[in-house]
Amino acid sequence: MPFYYIRWTNFSCPYCRHVFNNSLSASPVRLGPGFRICPKCMRSFQDWSKEWSAQSRWKKIEFFLPPGNLVWIDSALLTMFLPLYVWRKDLTLADFVFVLLIAGLLLIPFLVSCGLRTGEVVRSKRRVIRS
């Protein structure tokens, strides 16, 4: 499994080093107004986020495919294609259905992540409408 996608990332305040968020597979694309107020020291700082409408088309695609999601997609693809090479001769329909089921289960975290990220997009669009 391609674990090189997974990297622990802490997001901290540049003034007091308070960690306000962390992630096992941080997306390089973050949605937000471009600044953040530290919940500990209450100072404002630039966090390099952009609202959904200001993101380029490629960044929008990248937003839904962060490194953590690529792990699940790669795992599902490996699960689907590996048996074709290992048991090529005696592969039955039941084996194929079982492999597809496992691959489908591996895609559940990706689908959940897409649902959560869609919620982030909706909140970003609401922030733009309110401002």
Task: Give residues in contact with Zn ion (CB under 5 A).
Answer: 13, 15-16, 18, 38, 40-41
Min. distance of Cβ 3 from Zn ion in angstroms? 32
Contacts of 72 (CB under 8 A, 6+ apart): 106, 107, 109, 110
**CA-to-CA separations, 71 to 24, 29, 60, 75, 82, in angstroms, rounded:** 11, 17, 19, 6, 16
Nearer to Zn ion, 20 or 64 (CB): 20
Residue found under tokens 């937000």: 32
Min. distance of Cβ 33 from Zn ion in angstroms? 17
Nearer to Zn ion, 47 or 51 (CB): 47
Residue 124 identity: S
Nearer to Zn ion, 15 or 96 (CB): 15
Nearer to Zn ion, 13 or 71 (CB): 13
Min. distance of Cβ 14 from Zn ion in angstroms? 8
Nearest to 102 by CA among 82, 83, 80, 85: 80
Min. distance of Cβ 87 from Zn ion in angstroms? 56
